[in-house]
Structure 1
Amino acid sequence: MPDPKKPQNPLIRNLLMWGGILIALVLLVQLFQGPSKTEAAGQQMAYSEFLTKVDEGQVRNVEISGRQIAGKLANDSEFRTYNPGDPELISRLRAKNVTFDAQPEERPSLLSQIIVGALPFIIMIGIWIFFMRQMQNGQGRGAMGFGKSKARMLTQKDGRVTFDDVAGIDEAREELQEIVDFLKDPSKFHRLGGKIPKGALLVGPPGTGKTLLARAIAGEANVPFFTISGSDFVEMFVGVGASRVRDMFDQAKKNAPCIIFIDEIDAVGRHRGAGLGGGNDEREQTLNQLLVEMDGFDANEGIIIVAATNRPDVLDPALLRPGRFDRQIVVGRPDIEGRERILAVHMRKVPLAPDVNPRVIARGTPGFSGADLANLVNEAALLAARRSRRLVSMKEFEDAKDKVMMGVERKSMVMTEDEKKMTAYHEAGHAVVSVHEPASDPIHKATIIPRGRALGMVMRLPERDNYSYHRDKMHANLSVAMGGRIAEELIFGHDKVSSGASGDIQMATGLAKAMVTQWGMSDTLGPLQYSENQEEVFLGHSVTRQQNVSEQTAQLIDAEVKRIVMQGYDRAKSILSENIDQLHALANALLEYETLTGDEIKRVMAGESIDRPDSAAKLPPLGIGGVAGIPKSGRRSGGGLGGAAPATPRTMGGDQPGA
């Protein structure tokens, strides 16, 4: 037996509603139309003709109902007509011995007349209420409830999230754990004079787990938890946002102690008066009401506001002061230990092969957020399913990482043999210089398979996360960036240098310019910061801000940038000239195998052979000049080099073909 308290299916409810409206409309039409002419038997006859037939004795009998007349003729045919009010009709019928019967005219009762008159208005009101209920989207607000809060009370019946599901951001979790403990046992803090914090602002880049932390608070604290987005406050009607803020806090007061989570608070909490041509008055009224509710004359005891944003720089200062948001919790990108724990959390539901090492994956994903790591695990699982594997192996994780960082393999790209050779030497030049630079990060992989916009790449992985960079590491990065260009010059000549090094040159120039103008690493210009021309958008037009350096200083900056880049160029040229045999051997290996790991690169440069179960081919001994290896038929390869920011893996690849 169905539960009477269980809500009906919305589809069934809507069908019943529309069916009732259709039946009511049909009844209304029937009532206004009256009896159909086909309902009365007989043929319609003119009253004058009826009198003529009475006088001629052709009418046998009639029935009079009010002014409606129906009867039969002598030939048994039926007829009907209407009496216009003839007072001599009865005497004529008697004179011709016509049998007649008379009945009073049926008149509707007063109640039925009222119902018929009011039925159209009742139907229109019902239709209007029905459409207003449909516009509510099931949130329980009335037709005029524009000022009602859109905050939803979060339930944890399904998909409960706790702090055990949050990893890699221990500091932020500890700060919020204290809020949960306060709600569970406030007397522990009250004994020492501590007060419950009014609010906590979660600040961090997208995908670092701010919303996940809020869901964990709801899962840990046994108190009501309201969630709302900052954009839900602002409406096209002036004053609606402030009304919704008041209604939200009224609901919270009734359920105190409780937590209110406002996601993307920068949508409503932007700095007042900072917009071009004046701020949005509706948004500022909403912010003013939020400021008053958080810390005004009325004390909101037991209500904790947790908000999240990735733009703390645009928030109004009044919103950030103590008493409103007492705590600003930075939720940053996880370090290598945090990434390893995050991967362990996301790998719980994935069947893993024995060779999967989360530590190696964490090393290869510096700068990844929690959302990026979750996407990486999902991509690996999809790749394993596509390959009909029962377990997700390290191979799938490596391929998924390459796909996320560099794009999908461009297997359909066709290149000539000369282009493949140049690509192999280009990437081999990067790898050889990287191995011989002591300050460079270890090589993880080299490939000439195009991915995304990259036509080839050399990836270096740091041993640990780097939060600052030293001068020797920057000069090493400049040398590695120039390695591909130098390899092309040494092997193919000055006139055969390709455009594949455009990304390298761009990265090297940007790094050298930052060393000179921002980090004070130029002996000529000293430890000073020099600003540059910057473009800003004002009212849809690009405006260039003038630099605050003289023309002479600008020339010195350009000269220093060129000098630093050329130092890296000369260093790379010296390394490759002294190790030309290693360059040839590594280029041959890339043409043969297309992708080499870091250990394989070291063995090739040491003159050892590569043993792979899927290939019996051996490398030529170290010292053979030229290109002896021929790429296998059907494989695609490419060239190109692009630099990476200091916080990302050293990915050598990123140029478009012919750039």
Structure 2
Amino acid sequence: MTDTSTIKVKLNSNEIYETDNPRSINFKEDLLKKGVKISENSPMTPKEVIPLSFLVLSVISIAFIGLKDSTIFKNKKLSSVDSLDADEVENIKLNFNSVAGNEEAKESVKDIVDFLKNPEKYSSYGARMPKGIILYGDPGTGKTLMAKAVAGEAGVPFYAMSGSDFVQVYVGVGASRIRQLFKKARSKGKAVIFIDEIDAIGKKRSSEKAGGSEERDQTLNALLTEMSGFNEKEGIIIMAATNRLDILDEALLRPGRFDRHIEVNLPDVVAREKILNLHLKNKPIGNINIKDWAKKTAYFSGAKIENLLNEAAILACKENSVKIEDYHVDKAFSVVLAGYEKQNRDYIKNKDKKITAYHEIGHALISSIVLPKEKISKVTIIPSTKGAGGYTLSIPEDSLYQSKEYLRNRIMVLLGGRAAEEIIFGEDHITTGAHNDLQRSTSIAYKMVTEYGMGETLGLLNMGSLKHELSINENDIIKECKSLIDNIYKDVKNTLLKEKDQLDSLSEKLLDKETLYEEDFK
């Protein structure tokens, strides 16, 4: 019998009793002689206990080590995200000569450079330099380049970080990085701190206290505190860039913080010519008409122009050409806007080619009629790697404003492809080729009605400014947009019907040549 203090007895009636274990030597033998069935749970022997104990201790030890390593890992991770990783450049080689165009923006920061060089001069006049400068404008216009040029002209260290570098999972890390950044800049005496995409931490704050919002708020507060805490005479200028000035927190934009706001615009035709010359300076160029390309690249940013010329250089290199010629830039122009031409076109049916030809000539013909000042650069039915079955490239005019008439004509051009399909192939055989055209025309019509004060439903009211103060019937706005599009579409069809002979002849010509140019439309 087991060496336990009690034993359990089960009778034939299934009743169970528990009693003391007599632990006598012959107790088990006597029970067996009486026909009693015995079942016993033997305790573990020392030989069995030792390995099991070792196993349990091993599991506990492994768990402890794992927990310890996890803590170390977590601490290392926290240390990593807390550490500053600012791009520091001691000697910026760029200056204002490296920035083509944007003369107004350059003029607005020249006094900052002078201040960094001679802070005592401004102090003698009792003048205070702006603590912070916001550069705002479309992507690729040269905001980062402008900030680097300021540091280069002044001959001071340049510290650059992105706003997203400050936003982390762990609350407080962003604020710590802000403090480290300013401490590092102060150690140099004079410096330019540049925060790109500052809207990542500087958006208007809300009352909601989500985890990400709390971290962003703490980071923004740390930035505001640091900006309030240093003296203008220290020679540290904070510059930041954003595409959306309107979404930044008011506390960030008030005097004493980022109190100078400089718009960095898309380059005009004169600036584009300067940018072209700047980026072609160190390239082997042949007969390239720079003035002509300055006109063709309307609404191109500086970065987009640089990319255009880089693509042209790559194409010239592929051909082992001695120099970059005008036709290389022309090919690159199509690549940048529409992608590379698809080489394998055997799968395209003749019927689909015909649909594409009429669709593209519909765009081009309407454009030549309602927007005669916009030159048609290229019309092709060769599909591109960006998904277009064909495309029409026209060169828009540089313009400060867009009139109601212009926007209406722009919608006409966008609807020209669909209208041509319907006229030639019938209403039941229109295709999905106008998908992007319809998106863009709808967007223009909606903005005309809701933003530009060119509709009847809202009149001169701007829908964005109303916010939630008034209950607006969206259906009325949609009805007006639809009515506007429908009326324009009727005008487009009537125009193409009057020019049906030209629509047919140009489409046949496009089918034959696959690509038409400006001279084909004269």
| TM-score in same-fold range (> 0.5) | yes
User: Residue 276 and residue 372 in structure 1: after superposition, are their counterparts in 2 closer, same or farther (change >3 A)?
Assistant: farther
Tell me by how many angstroms 1:474 deviates. Answer: 2.6
Q: Does 1:155 align with 2:90?
A: yes
Equivalence for 1:389: 321
Alignment check: 8 A CA contact 1:439 1:473 kept? no
User: Residue 273 and residue 417 in structure 1: after superposition, are their counterparts in 2 closer, same or farther (change >3 A)?
Assistant: closer
Q: Does 1:485 align with 2:485?
A: no
Q: 1:577 aligns with which of 490, 497, 507?
A: 497
1:385-416: CA deviation from partner (whole Å, max 9, x where unpaired):
11221111121112112111112212323222
Q: 1:290 aligns with which of 219, 223, 230?
A: 223
Q: 1:206 aligns with which of 139, 163, 168?
A: 139
Q: What code does the residue aligned with 1:205 have?
A: D
How many pairs does the alignment contain?
447
Alignment check: 8 A CA contact 1:273 1:279 kept? no
Q: Does 1:186 align with 2:113?
A: no
User: Residue 382 and residue 179 in structure 1: after superposition, are their counterparts in 2 closer, same or farther (change >3 A)?
Assistant: same
Q: What code does the residue aligned with 1:397 have?
A: V
Equivalence for 1:454: 388
Task: Please report the RMSD computed on the Cα atoms of aligned residues, expressed in angstroms.
Answer: 3.5
Alignment check: 8 A CA contact 1:204 1:310 kept? yes
Q: 2:186 aligns with which of 234, 248, 253?
A: 253
Q: What secondary structure sits across from 1:454 in the alignment? A: coil
Tell me by how many angstroms 1:153 deviates. Answer: 4.0
Cα distance in 2 for residues equivalent to 1:408 and 1:514: 32
User: Residue 530 and residue 174 in structure 1: after superposition, are their counterparts in 2 closer, same or farther (change >3 A)?
Assistant: closer
User: Residue 353 and residue 149 in structure 1: after superposition, are their counterparts in 2 closer, same or farther (change >3 A)?
Assistant: same
Tell me by how many angstroms 1:379 deviates. Answer: 0.8
Alignment check: 8 A CA contact 2:381 2:514 kept? yes
Q: What code does the residue aligned with 2:330 have?
A: E
Give runs of aligned pairs for residues 48-59 of structure 1, distance below 5 A: none
Cα distance in 2 for residues equivalent to 1:263 and 1:316: 16
Alignment check: 8 A CA contact 1:209 1:371 kept? yes
Q: What secondary structure sits across from 2:353 in the alignment? A: helix
Q: What secondary structure sits across from 2:323 in the alignment? A: coil
Q: Does 1:399 align with 2:331?
A: yes
Structure 2's unaligned 5+ residue stretches are: 1-71
Q: What secondary structure sits across from 2:234 in the alignment? A: coil
Alignment check: 8 A CA contact 1:516 1:525 kept? yes
User: Residue 258 and residue 563 in structure 1: after superposition, are their counterparts in 2 closer, same or farther (change >3 A)?
Assistant: closer
Give runs of aligned pairs for residues 103-114 of structure 1, distance below 5 A: none
User: Residue 171 and residue 578 in structure 1: after superposition, are their counterparts in 2 closer, same or farther (change >3 A)?
Assistant: same
State TM-score, norm by structure 2: 0.75
Q: Does 1:476 align with 2:377?
A: no
Higher share in helix: 2
Q: 2:512 aligns with which of 556, 581, 592?
A: 592
User: Residue 251 and residue 491 in structure 1: after superposition, are their counterparts in 2 closer, same or farther (change >3 A)?
Assistant: closer
Alignment check: 8 A CA contact 1:353 1:392 kept? yes
Equivalence for 1:465: 398
User: Residue 299 and residue 344 in structure 1: after superposition, are their counterparts in 2 closer, same or farther (change >3 A)?
Assistant: closer
Cα distance in 1 for residues equivalent to 2:87 and 2:430: 62
Tell me by how many angstroms 1:591 deviates. Answer: 1.5
Cα distance in 1 for residues equivalent to 2:411 and 2:163: 45
Q: What code does the residue aligned with 2:487 have?
A: Q
Identity percentage over the alignment?
43
Alignment check: 8 A CA contact 1:440 1:477 kept? no
Cα distance in 2 for residues equivalent to 1:435 and 1:281: 55
1:19-56: CA deviation from partner (whole Å, max 9, x where unpaired):
xxxxxxxxxxxxxxxxxxxxxxxxxxxxxxxxxxxxxx
Q: 1:554 aligns with which of 475, 486, 492?
A: 475
1:559-594: CA deviation from partner (whole Å, max 9, x where unpaired):
543443333233223332332222222112111211
State TM-score, norm by structure 1: 0.60
Equivalence for 2:195: 262
Alignment check: 8 A CA contact 1:531 1:548 kept? no
1:224-283: CA deviation from partner (whole Å, max 9, x where unpaired):
433444455566666555444444434433432333233333344444555553655554
Cα distance in 2 for residues equivalent to 1:146 and 1:487: 58
Tell me by how many angstroms 1:301 deviates. Answer: 2.7
Equivalence for 1:422: 355
Q: What code does the residue aligned with 1:400 have?
A: A
Q: What code does the residue aligned with 2:311 have?
A: E
Tell me by how many angstroms 1:524 deviates. Answer: 7.6
Cα distance in 2 for residues equivalent to 1:299 and 1:145: 32
Cα distance in 1 for residues equivalent to 2:351 and 2:79: 73
